[in-house]
Structure 1
């Protein structure tokens, strides 16, 4: 049992139509399963009350609604406010150690790796945000789903405007708050990268008294983040790859399938294999170790979890896909992109053994007036990765197409469907192909179609 109707009513100030109990929470009717509470949110494009019958047909045990329905429900004045109230009630009743994660890149991967590390030592005792539910509705949903006896809760928090993280972190009230990295992202909404750092630093405002702030040592915005944390944190811990970090990778031996890492955590050393390739993942792993240590977790078990970590769909999952004369390696980074994550994943492609390296790169969105410069600047990382063929997708990729013209073979297409057709014509055995772009470009459909059609063997 996650919530009873009386607990829901008490938390939200609503009125229960009948006694019921639920085992889960959802606001997307397509995700409702048996025993769930369905929250009928009203948005600009649709009204969740339209999907109440569907939710109950799929097994919902109750609903939060703003208008009476012919099913067990709690009636409230505003369902969005009720979701936030339920989240606050969940946070108030738990004794779990709460960890918040944000950053311009790497926050979902770090959240998943941290959950895996904590769950390996305490199976079933760690709760996490699902998917990338990291906004003003996703964070309260993830909190409201947290089992009442959880020992750890790991919550991803995102933003694209100043002030958003300040609001989210005061709901989550983390004991430990991590900033993974600061980089140009959503620059359309910020005057500078310094302003992005300030917005990410808002996460520290919600720290519980005596809480721990975890800051990227190698970032040029390190001191700015430390200054943001100092009024709120009882302890500030830095992580990174360079000397001086409190949690540091002192030795890294990379391979195509990951890295062997020796890390120093305070006065202790830990050796482990990191399953995910790339220097950015080594940095993420240092943040994970810092958080596990701050939470009083088991570092040895964390190292084992990092060795077992699978790639995430859209965020580094790799597949060996069958082509006409053998197999090709597909690196799926299709979920999102900004200049920093583009450079990091292009390095991963460059380190991947292959007969040819192909990059399918979708435009990076929300970069504002500097968008052309950010796209053109990818020409250097593309060349350094040894890419022989590039498929560029979207109008904003025109500056990169111009910068690469005459240097490598490329095609510039407007949409993901044309990119898929171009890739399908040329992909052959021994190739390694990276697919990456902003989520709105739709490259995940390209990946899904290729994987489904080719009957891949995933790793």
Structure 2
């Protein structure tokens, strides 16, 4: 992680950090360093006086290899799993990841902010930023949120430690791809409200189906206080999983939906003019209400995200005026559905979905493209990662869906060939991203819409960048502060 987690006006003393990791501490220096810690970080390049460096293990790097470097940079102390030959105070713990989380959890308790945790398969980052926008509309700089998609065992502690003292409302994104991960993150976050977006086919290489995915995400509810709220979609096939977890925990459950056929405490639909109609039931904090406002994001899944964000905001007592203001002005982020329109007279729209993909989010993105009024439409699809043994079938399913919708499909990658085969004569196949880039000039030159979607590992942000080079652009889509993909 590259950012420094400043702890605000009142610094964290070394003894407080030691208290936080007491159960993990194996050895402390004979003499404790003097002074306070005003940053906790895992990026050695950002180390300096007043910082506590956490030596985290990783797939590409081991933080222990950089302890000597942070010592030269003047860091106050290092949290390590084994002693390192370096001139710096070292606290040896059984597990640096757990210790990092423990320090963040202590800081969160002292902070006292009311926190929403957002978990689920798809839409987490967009929904998190919607909640953050509502919080800002209501309480300005007394709010905080996850930057980028720092939602794992490193990102969540970083996020919590980044919240300034005086923060009153915050929203934290929590993600997982293995069993047990979400429960640990939620235990660090200790949210007042858990917002579950959906359960879909993500990380199926590591999880045994959608029901297990729903269960693992739903375990965040166990970290709620007795006064907490579990917020989840009643039009999701796994809603019974979350309802059972909420009942077992004894917290209040509230539901949201877009499907008019199911019962929900918050529902967003569109009226005949295309404005959003957001209805709350009398079970929600604040009581029954109907809000009507312009909503600038296409797609039912985005209305679904907005309904969940609004309902979570109500559990914190945030006013409806803030909900309307924030959702009226909200725009999709780059890499996550941003609609970028050219200004060279070509009348081209590029839907940037290059950050992530699974079968269900692919289909949702295709439905948005179908709704676009442009006469020419092309869906540029790359491989979906972590789909496990069902990879060929999942890609074929998406290709068949494109054929059903009548879309032209350009595919790229080894697995996406199955999508091209299932789509049939309206598909065109490319082996590599480099090959695809060479042929982008063959796309319609005007009055067209293109969707670019793949898992992040495919590097489809290069496809978006090349399309923008080919057309003068009005690239005013918002970016998450530390996520430009």
Q: Is the aligned partner of 1:281 residue 2:281?
A: no
Q: Is the aligned partner of 1:348 residue 2:368?
A: yes
**CA deviations over 1:52-107 (Å, ceiling 9, x no partner):** 688799x9975634347567x76443543331121111122121112111111111
Q: Tell me, yes or no, if the aligned pair for 2:203 and 2:386 is still in contact at 8 Å.
A: yes
Q: Is the aligned partner of 1:106 residue 2:114?
A: no
**CA deviations over 1:301-354 (Å, ceiling 9, x no partner):** 11110111122121011222466x635211110111111111111111111121
**Alignment TM-score, normalising by the size of structure 2:** 0.84
The change in CA–CA distance for 1:251 and 1:455 in structure 2 (over 3 A counts) is closer
Q: Distance in 2 between matches of 1:338 and 1:85?
A: 33
Q: Is the aligned partner of 1:11 residue 2:26?
A: no
Structure 2: which 5+ residue stretches go unaligned?
Answer: 1-6, 23-27, 283-287, 477-485
Q: Distance in 1 between matches of 2:68 and 2:342?
A: 41
The correspondence for 1:442, drawn from 440, 443, 459, is 459
Task: State the partner residue of 1:310.
Answer: 331
**Deviation at residue 11 of structure 1 after TM alignment:** 3.3
Alignment of 1:291-330 (within 5 A): 291-321=312-342, 326-330=346-350
The change in CA–CA distance for 1:437 and 1:63 in structure 2 (over 3 A counts) is farther
Q: Distance in 2 between matches of 1:449 and 1:416?
A: 11
Task: State the partner residue of 2:379.
Answer: 359
Secondary structure of the residue that 2:438 maps to in structure 1? helix
The change in CA–CA distance for 1:103 and 1:380 in structure 2 (over 3 A counts) is same
Structure 1: which 5+ residue stretches go unaligned?
Answer: none
Q: Is the aligned partner of 1:261 residue 2:277?
A: yes
**Deviation at residue 111 of structure 1 after TM alignment:** 0.6
Q: Tell me, yes or no, if the aligned pair for 1:239 and 1:246 is still in contact at 8 Å.
A: yes
**Deviation at residue 224 of structure 1 after TM alignment:** 2.1
Task: State the partner residue of 2:285.
Answer: none
Calculate the aligned-residue CA RMSD, in Å: 2.8
Q: Distance in 2 between matches of 1:221 and 1:118?
A: 28
Deviates more, 1:265-274 or 1:431-440: 265-274
Q: Tell me, yes or no, if the aligned pair for 1:254 and 1:278 is still in contact at 8 Å.
A: no
Q: Is the aligned partner of 1:162 residue 2:171?
A: no
The change in CA–CA distance for 1:35 and 1:222 in structure 2 (over 3 A counts) is same
Q: Tell me, yes or no, if the aligned pair for 1:17 and 1:74 is still in contact at 8 Å.
A: no
Alignment of 1:168-317 (within 5 A): 168-241=185-258, 242=260, 243-249=262-268, 251-252=270-271, 259-266=275-282, 267-317=288-338
Q: Distance in 1 between matches of 2:320 and 2:77?
A: 41
The correspondence for 2:355, drawn from 319, 324, 335, is 335
Q: Is the aligned partner of 1:457 residue 2:471?
A: no
Q: Tell me, yes or no, if the aligned pair for 1:21 and 1:61 is still in contact at 8 Å.
A: no
The change in CA–CA distance for 1:198 and 1:4 in structure 2 (over 3 A counts) is closer
Q: Tell me, yes or no, if the aligned pair for 1:174 and 1:206 is still in contact at 8 Å.
A: yes
**Alignment TM-score, normalising by the size of structure 1:** 0.88
Secondary structure of the residue that 1:214 maps to in structure 2? strand
Alignment of 1:383-394 (within 5 A): 383=403, 385-388=405-408, 390-394=409-413
Equivalent pairs counted in the alignment come to: 449
Q: Tell me, yes or no, if the aligned pair for 2:116 and 2:170 is still in contact at 8 Å.
A: yes
Task: State the partner residue of 2:415.
Answer: 396
Alignment of 1:27-176 (within 5 A): 27-29=42-44, 38-50=53-65, 64-66=78-80, 67=84, 75-77=91-93, 79-176=96-193
The correspondence for 2:429, drawn from 397, 406, 412, is 412
**Deviation at residue 199 of structure 1 after TM alignment:** 1.7
Secondary structure of the residue that 2:323 maps to in structure 1? helix
Deviates more, 1:129-138 or 1:281-290: 129-138
The change in CA–CA distance for 1:306 and 1:320 in structure 2 (over 3 A counts) is same
